[in-house]
Amino acid sequence: MVVGGSRGGVSGKPVKQVAVGILGESPPRRKHRWAVVIGISDYSGGGSDIQYADDDALDMLKTLIEVYGYRRENIRLLISDYKVNNATHDDIVAAIDWLRDREAAGDEVVFFYSGHGARGMADDGDGEVIDEAIVPYECTSDALIWDGDLKRMFSDFEASRIIFIFDCCYAGGMTDLKADGRVICMASTESGVSYESSVLQNGVFTYYFVDKGMYQGEADTTPSDGKVTVEEAFDYAKANVPTVVPQKPTISDSFENDLLL
C-alpha cells in the first residue's frame, strides 16, 4: 500500500472545457437530494494527519445547504477533526448503506471525500492490476475502501444523477464508478498527488471547486446566469489549481449536458 501524503505540505464532452453551457435535466425537489460528505484530517496514530480535509468537508456541507438548497437532514457528515472521529471504515460503509436505503429513481446523490488516497494491489473485483482507495480513519491496509469496493457499493443505486468528488491523492483512478448519469470530479490523475494549502486553509482542489467556484460563484461563466453547474466548477478548478500546485484535476462526465445540483 502506498498512502499519498503530499497534502501535508471517455466523457463525450470537450477535453479542455467540460461545461457546454446547456443545462441537463433539472434537479429533483429538495427532499429527493441526498449526500454523504467525508473529511478526515486526524488519522489513527497521528503519524498520517493532514490539516484541512475536515474544513473541506464542512465547506462542502455549507455549499450544499446554502447554495444548492439541500436539507441538512438529508446529508450524512463524517468527519475526523481531532475531536470527533466518525469516519472509520465501518462508518463510511454504513453511510453509503444509509444513502442506498433512501435514494430512489429520479433522485440526486452527492458523495464527497477529502483525505488521504492510496494505491496498491487489491482483490476488489475490478480486474485492475493497480487499484486506488480512499483511506478511512484507521489508516491501515485492512481498512482501505478500494475503487472496486466503491463500484460494488454504488452498483445498485437507482438515482439518475450521482456526483462523486474526491480530493485525495490518486483520485483519478476512481473512474471505476463511471455510469450513465454520473459525474466523477477528481483532484488529481490516477498516479498524481493532491495538495492542501495553509494559505488557502483547504485542499487546493476543494478551495477552487467548492469555495471559490461554487460558494462564491466564481465559476459562473458558461454562461453567466447566477447558477454554477458541476462542470463549470470543475473547469474553474482545473484552470486555477495548477497555478498554485503541480496537480492536475480530472473528470469523468456521463451526464447529458451540464449538471446543476
Report yes or no: 27 and 103 within 8 Å, Cβ to Cβ: no
Q: Does domain 2-6+29-190 have CATH number 3.40.50.1110?
A: no
Kindly write down the DSSP assignment for every residue of the chain, as one continuous string. Answer: -EE--GGG---SS-SS----S-B-SPPPPGGGEEEEEEEE---TTSTT--SSHHHHHHHHHHHHHHTT---GGGEEEEEESSS-B--SHHHHHHHHHHHHHH--TT-EEEEEEES-EEEE---SSS--SSEEEE--TT-SGGG-EEHHHHHHHTTT---SEEEEEEESTTGGGGGGG--TTEEEEESS-TT----EETTTTEEHHHIIIIIIIIIS-TT--TT-SS---HHHHHHHHHHHGGGTSS---EEEE-SSSB---
CA atoms within 13 A on the CB side of 89: 13
pLDDT at position 171: 98
Domain ranges of the chain: 2-6+29-190
The position carrying cell 446529508 is 75
Condensed to tens digits (0 to 9), the pLDDT of residues 146-194 reads 999 999 999 999 999 999 999 999 999 999 999 999 999 999 999 999 9
pLDDT at position 123: 64
pLDDT at position 1: 33
pLDDT at position 120: 86
The model's confidence at residue 127, banded by pLDDT at 50, 70 and 90, is low
Q: Is residue 5's pLDDT more than 60? A: no
pLDDT at position 111: 98
pLDDT at position 4: 43
Condensed to tens digits (0 to 9), the pLDDT of residues 248-258 reads 999 999 999 99
Report yes or no: 178 and 35 within 8 Å, Cβ to Cβ: no
pLDDT at position 6: 47
Strands 182-186 and 250-253: antiparallel
pLDDT at position 125: 61
Condensed to tens digits (0 to 9), the pLDDT of residues 182-205 reads 999 999 999 999 999 999 999 999
Name residues whose C-beta falls within 8 Å of residue 47's C-beta, 6 or more positions apart in sequence. Answer: none
Condensed to tens digits (0 to 9), the pLDDT of residues 29-86 reads 999 999 999 999 999 987 899 999 999 999 999 999 999 999 999 999 999 988 888 9
Condensed to tens digits (0 to 9), the pLDDT of residues 206-235 reads 999 999 999 999 999 999 999 999 999 999
pLDDT at position 72: 98
80, three cell numbers? 475526523
Calpha distance 8→195 (Å, rounded): 7
